């Protein structure tokens, strides 16, 4: 093979590679557009479902309140079952909307100075009655140097609510749950939140997947309690939108510790 033939082969191979690259780039852009359309469809569908569900809930609540007359016990029981399922659907719709916003990069934070001790005490106080139904101790520990902090208070509330709810649900009766907030030892500008329980724990294999979309684990208690499987994935998205991180340390049959950080100075 002479030099001219070799140069022609190299040139042809280069043209083929360039064409392949262009085709791959086009395919990639098409996939991105399909992914965007899917995310938009999910977001719009979830939004459209929210309104009729809210109307259904309001009307059932009016029936339960006796607005349209007295109810028999079996009627009240059936309506209570209906409203419980409507509430579950509304929560699922909100989870899907949040996940769509996170996945599409459209999650917006409304950050403002927030007095963290008051916020966290309010969350824990609201969940004490739920903890009591499972005979749990629910304790709170806040370091004295924790005060005002810039964050989206509603989104931080959403993350903490999810973690504490999980601890309550996935800890057998008579357990202990401790919620703590302190300055991060590795960076005093950051806050470190922890929710610790002495429940069933999570295997090392599950710990690698637990923040994935729709993952609910393999233990019997997960299947008994149900859920959308989006809660921890949404929590991860909210924490990361703040610039923080979330992780878990757990030992089966011993308990779990969920941590997340919120960096200081986010605007």
Q: Are 88 and 128 found together in one domain?
A: no
CATH code of the domain covering residue 56 = 1.10.287
Last residue of a domain, one of 84, 104, 124: 104
Identify the residue with better confidence: 47 or 164.
164
Residues 119 and 225 in one domain: yes
pLDDT tens column, 232-255: 999 999 999 999 999 999 999 999
> Could you tell me if 200 and 171 are in contact, meaning their C-beta atoms sit under 8 angstroms apart?
yes
**Among residues 42, 71, 104, which one ends one of the domains?**
104
Q: In terms of residue numbers, what domain contains 68?
A: 5-104
pLDDT digits over 77-105, tens only?
999 999 888 988 888 888 888 888 887 78
Specify the pTM. 0.73
Q: How many structural domains comprise the chain?
A: 2
Q: Is it the case that residue 220 has pLDDT exceeding 60?
A: no
* HEC secondary structure over 105-167: CCCCCCCEEEEHHHHHHHHHHHHHHHHHHCCCEEEEEECCCCCEEEECHHHHHHHHHHHHHHH
Residue 161, both tokens? 């609510």
pLDDT above 70 coverage of the chain, percent: 88
In the numeric block, the tokens 């233990």 are attached to 219
Which of 104, 133, 148 is a domain's end point? 104
Contact 230, 174 (CB under 8 A): no
- Describe the chain by its helix, strand, coil percentages, rounded to 5: 55, 20, 25
Q: Which range has the worst mean pLDDT, 12-16, 44-48, 121-125, 150-154?
A: 44-48
DSSP label of 266: -
Report pLDDT for 161.
95
Q: Is the pLDDT confidence value at 15 over 90?
A: no
CA–CA distance, 189 with 184 (Å, rounded to integer): 7
């Amino acid at each position: 093979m002479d030099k001219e033939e070799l140069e022609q082969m190299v040139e042809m191979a280069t043209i083929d590679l360039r064409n392949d690259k262009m085709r791959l780039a086009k395919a990639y852009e098409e996939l991105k557009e399909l992914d965007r359309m899917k995310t938009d469809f999910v977001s719009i569908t979830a939004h459209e479902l929210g309104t009729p569900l809210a109307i259904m809930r309001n009307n059932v609540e009016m029936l339960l309140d006796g607005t349209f007359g007295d109810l028999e016990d079996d009627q009240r029981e059936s309506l209570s079952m209906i409203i419980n399922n409507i509430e579950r659907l509304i929560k699922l719709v909100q989870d899907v909307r949040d996940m769509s916003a996170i996945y599409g990069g459209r999650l917006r934070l409304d950050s403002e100075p927030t007095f963290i001790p008051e916020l966290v005490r309010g969350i824990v106080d609201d969940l004490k009655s739920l903890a009591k139904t499972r005979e749990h101790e629910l304790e709170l520990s806040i370091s004295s140097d924790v005060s005002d902090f810039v964050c989206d208070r509603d989104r931080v509330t959403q993350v903490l609510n999810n973690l504490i709810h999980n601890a309550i649900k996935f800890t057998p009766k008579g357990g202990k749950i401790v919620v703590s907030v302190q300055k991060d030892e590795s960076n005093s500008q950051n806050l470190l939140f922890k929710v610790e329980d002495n429940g069933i724990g999570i295997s090392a294999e599950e710990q690698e997947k637990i923040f994935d979309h729709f993952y609910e684990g393999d233990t019997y208690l997960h299947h008994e309690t149900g859920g959308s499987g989006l809660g921890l994935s949404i929590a991860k998205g909210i924490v990361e939108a703040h610039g923080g991180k979330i992780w878990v340390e757990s030992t089966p049959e011993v308990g779990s510790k969920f941590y997340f950080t919120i960096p200081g100075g986010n605007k």
